[in-house]
Amino acid sequence: MQKHAVALQPDAHILVVKLAGIGDLLLATPALRALRESYPQATIDLLVTPDSAGLLNGWDAINHVIVLDKYLFDYPRQIITHPQNLARLRPLWHALRTGGYDAVILMHHLTLPFGRLKYQVLMRATGARWRIGLENGHGWFLNIAVQDAGFGAMHEADYYMALAEAAGATISSKSLYVPLTDEERQKAAQLVYGDNTREDTPHPIITIHPGSGGYSTARRWSPERFAQLADTLFHDTGGQLLLVGGPEEAELHQRIISMLRSSMPARSLAGKGSIRVAAAVLEQADLFIGNDSALMHLATAVGTPTIAIFGLTNYKAWGPYTDAATSSKTTVVHLDLSCMPCFYRGHDLGTPEGCATRDCLAQLGVDPVAVAARKMLLEWRKQPTQNIGEA
């Protein structure tokens, strides 16, 4: 797939560009691990957005995290109407020019014209000898290129690992990774168990994320279906329900809880704790069920059995990603309509809000998700043998 690859010097300075959300950054962690393992003496810096800036803090694969609020520069009109935002780029420009980078790795598709212009300027600003990225016919400014066959031709995590290989890295592990501290795990245990032990807590612990982040709310299965699913699973397996998500999803959580018809214990953890505490909560769960979202990728990263509900999004590109040893711990539930996917299709962005009827999700009933959930619980249900101090 690669046009060619390069072997960097052992002490090379490498900049990895991943200006996207938390889920996207998680999918880049196998590639980042490979770079560190292949270049243990290198300086590896990471350029990210404010949303994902703290996700990998403390991980020794990364030397420095540089933050750019790219959402201020997504469209030309933002620069025209708010030219003062350009002043915010001065510290970044200085960091890029003085970083002494030998290679810059762009972990993005060159999909939109303005995006291609931004990435070209950014990569050239580093002065790096090697500019590594995905080539879809628009990557003339790259000098080491990996063929971009379109969204879903490879999983996004595989594209990122191919870029790491083009930089001379060797892939030893394909598992996602999120660094969690003991303190974060303790906070999560308090949220999940309170003053109880794991043994005294109703099981299975089923976590559901009915949201999807603000970029594309069309990815959401209906709250009525999530409530029906929770009732069905409680009838079959007992346990409790934890609804997870950001503070903006608290109202959605309460709506689902109000629609429950069973006596299933249910709580909302909306906005309680950082994103890494949320990951530690998911680590304690017996099962995660949710839409295409960052939390779905977090659940996969911490090894929790995961059921992902996909509609308009390309699950072959963005579905839960595991290595071969744990692939059976994830399931994607989706329909097979001729119009799917309409978001991230081929080399096009597509339509983030889908069509008017969104048949891909509206026609997806509870039964297929419930069947997948029962099977996953049967195979992977965790035993309540830990207490809070061991969680």
248 with 152, same domain? no
Q: Residue 71: which pLDDT band, with cuts at 50, 70 and 90?
A: low
Query: Which residues, listed in sequence order, are joined to residue 240 by a DSSP beta bridge?
Result: 205
219 with 84, same domain? no
153 with 210, same domain? no
Give pLDDT tens digits for 132-188.
Answer: 999 999 999 999 999 999 999 999 999 999 999 999 999 999 999 999 999 999 999
pTM passes above 0.95: no
**Count of domains for the chain:** 2
The DSSP code for 313 is B
271 with 360, same domain? yes
166, 191, 223 - which closes a domain: 166
42 with 145, same domain? yes
152 with 206, same domain? no
Query: In this structure, is residue 203 part of a structural domain?
Result: yes
Query: In this structure, is residue 103 part of a structural domain?
Result: yes
Query: In this structure, is residue 384 part of a structural domain?
Result: yes
Owner of token pair 């870029």: 163
289 with 159, same domain? no
pLDDT at 127 over 60: yes
pLDDT at 5: 87
Give pLDDT tens digits for 4-36.
Answer: 789 999 999 999 999 999 999 999 999 999 999
Residues 305, 309, 312, 314, Cα dihedral to 10°: 20
199 with 246, same domain? yes
Query: In this structure, is residue 174 part of a structural domain?
Result: no
Query: In this structure, is residue 176 part of a structural domain?
Result: no
166, 196, 225 - which closes a domain: 166
Computed on alpha carbons and rounded to an integer, the radius of gyration of the chain in Å comes to: 21
Query: In this structure, is residue 5 part of a structural domain?
Result: no
In angstroms, rounded to a whole number, what is the distance separating the alpha carbons of residues 48 and 69? 8
pLDDT at 320: 97
In angstroms, rounded to a whole number, what is the distance separating the alpha carbons of residues 183 and 220? 32
132, 166, 200 - which closes a domain: 166
CATH assignment of the domain containing 126: 3.40.50.2000
244 with 333, same domain? yes
The values of phi and psi at residue 355, to 5°, are -90, 180
44 with 113, same domain? yes
22 with 89, same domain? yes
Query: In this structure, is residue 154 part of a structural domain?
Result: yes
Note down the domain range covering 353: 182-390
- The 3-state DSSP class for residue 70 equals helix
103 with 235, same domain? no
48's enclosing H/E stretch is: strand 43-48
